[in-house]
A and B are shown apart, each in its own frame.
Chain A
Amino acid sequence: MVRWRMAVVGAAVFGLVHAVEALRWRAWFDPAGRYDPWFLNNGVAVGFAAAMFLLVGIVVGMRAAARRPFGDAVIDGLNMAGGAAVAMIAVLLSIGPGTIFPIVVVFGAVVVAVSITAGAALGWSGGRALGVRA
């Protein structure tokens, strides 16, 4: 089932992460300026993006833990990942797709989906363990 709100939030989160990486690219990720700002162009940038997605996923999972089952949290995460993946493709097209862009899309989608969904699952479990209630 499609949860548009989650998808929009996912797209916004990806846009925000990309904006932060673009602004701090030379300072944090690629001091030599070898490549364009893009989260898959640098190992630290991949780690940063994955951490951000995981964090957002945890928040989503914890919110769901209050009154919804585990499956709902995962579906929220997947919807959010879908939205983030769409935003990722849009950004990739805007910066100019390279010669292996379909592979890039798959890699990026896996990073996004695994991070957010794992975060949602962790958040839900953590929320339940901490006794989060609505």
Chain B
Amino acid sequence: MHRGRFVIACALLAGGLLLPMSSYNRIVSARQQTAVTDRAVRPLTVSLKRAPAPGERGETYYTLESRIRRQTTQLADATLVAERLSDGDVVATLKDTAGNEAGRFKIDLIDSASHVLELWATTGELSQAADDSGARPTLERAQRQMYALWKDDVRKLSGRLQWRRDIMRAGGASGSAQGDVRRLETVWDDGLVATTTYAPSVTHEAASGKIVHGEALIAELTKDGVRIGGANWFPRDQVFVWDLPGVTNGWFDATHLTSYGGWPFKPDAQWLNIQLIAFYHFQHGQPPQAALQRPKPSLAARLWNAIEPRLAANEPGCDDLHWLDGTIYRACCDVHDYCYAKAGCTSSSWWRFVTSWTCDLCNMDVIYCFATGGSGHVLNKLP
């Protein structure tokens, strides 16, 4: 891994740690205005004491976020589309699984500090509330708020609602307002589009001998429709991998961030998209290159791979049958990937009948699933 790129990546990731620096600058500036006297400079060192408040991600993050034009979030039970209007206002629309619009929420920017929140019910009724949260008008927040109001069955903003950190919830509402994100598409300025997809099971060789597997967020960045690169986040192993050919590539995990006490926040799809955009945006001196998903192996490697396939050969979806990724068979492949990852199987497990029946059970399951049109599984006996 290139050291310089790693340092840049760390700096971006720790963007949250830079927020207090800008706050500090403002404080210094204010003090200079009130008392213009000579005084010794008070140096600061980066430390965890200056970490941002919970939920805050740093000025760099919000600067990049402010250039998002549209964001589409697919949850298990709804789809949210948030747009930033030309005047800076943010509008989030929620559609249920049937495609019916179930509500619209707007953060109306009066000035830089005060916002008015508006909710349109399906009946067309408009209700308003003052934004006393002090939170920023991000697209993600608007989506989260709309989703929370929908889950709480709130159709009107009123005094019965309560602030819980940066969003309003019904008085007796319990549980998280965060849905299970299946896919998140972020449309940025300059034709950049970042898309993160949830994958229940992925096996990946992050570096030589560093194999990670399990749940993953798979992100991809395109510019004007041309793929620039991608990044993966593996929550179980706390590993972040990225590859933007011609721009930057590498990986790191919590051990690389020990000076920050590990990951200073929990990476999610929202962050992954912004981070991917940041990689390109901060080093976009080079034109985007058409990227290949995998490096072209040598002839010897390909022949060896035919005998002993790489673990990295596993991809999200139906390997070598991606034509069916958008069909009912996708679930069969995902369950099979999950089963393989859990049991430690590889593609060579198909012809190793003697060593373990665990992998065979995974294989029997996927065959049965395909044979039954994506609905059947073998006796629920998967490992």
Contact = CB atoms under 8 A, between A and B. Distances in A.
Do A and B come together as binding partners? yes
Contact of A33 (B290, B350, B367): B290
Nearest to A94: B302
Q: Which 4 A-B pairs have the closest CB atoms?
A: A98-B319, A93-B306, A98-B320, A41-B322
A13 interface: no
A102 interface: yes
Interface in B288-328: 290-294, 297, 302-303, 305-306, 309-310, 313-315, 318-323
A34 B292 CA distance: 7
Contact of A97 (B290, B291, B293, B306): B306
Contacts of B315: 35, 98
Interface in B262-296: 290-294
Interface residues of B, number: 38
Nearest to B371: A103
Nearest to B312: A96
B337 interface: yes
A42 B322 contact: yes
A31 B288 CA distance: 14
Contact of A92 (B220, B320, B363): B320
B85 interface: no
Given A32-B227, A94-B306, A101 B350 contact: yes
A35 B345 CA distance: 22
Interface of B: 220, 222, 225-227, 290-294, 297, 302-303, 305-306, 309-310, 313-315, 318-323, 333, 336-337, 340, 345-347, 350, 363, 366-367, 370
Most buried by B among A35, A36, A101, A103: A103
B320 A38 contact: yes
B323 A45 contact: yes
Interface in A79-116: 92-104, 107
Contacts of A26: 290
A59 interface: no
A40 interface: yes
Contacts of A93: 306
Contacts of B292: 33
Contacts of A96: 297, 302, 305-306, 309-310, 313
B109 to A, nearest CB: 35
Interface size class of A (residues with CB under 8 A): 20 to 34
Contacts of A42: 322-323
A40 B290 CA distance: 22
A32 B288 CA distance: 12
Contact of B321 (A94, A95, A100): A100
A42 B310 CA distance: 23
Contact of B313 (A38, A98, A107): A98
Given A31-B225, A96-B305, A101 B322 contact: no
B192 to A, nearest CB: 14
B322 A35 contact: yes
Contact of B350 (A31, A94, A102): A102
Contact of A101 (B220, B225, B320): B320
B321 to A, nearest CB: 5
Nearest to B301: A96
Interface string A34-53: 11101011110110000000
A32 B336 contact: no
Contacts of B306: 93-94, 96-97
A71 to B, nearest CB: 30
Given A33-B292, A96-B313, A43 B323 contact: yes
A46 to B, nearest CB: 5
16 contacts: A31-B225, A33-B227, A42-B322, A96-B302, A96-B313, A97-B306, A97-B309, A99-B345, A99-B346, A100-B318, A101-B319, A101-B350, A102-B367, A103-B370, A104-B319, A107-B321
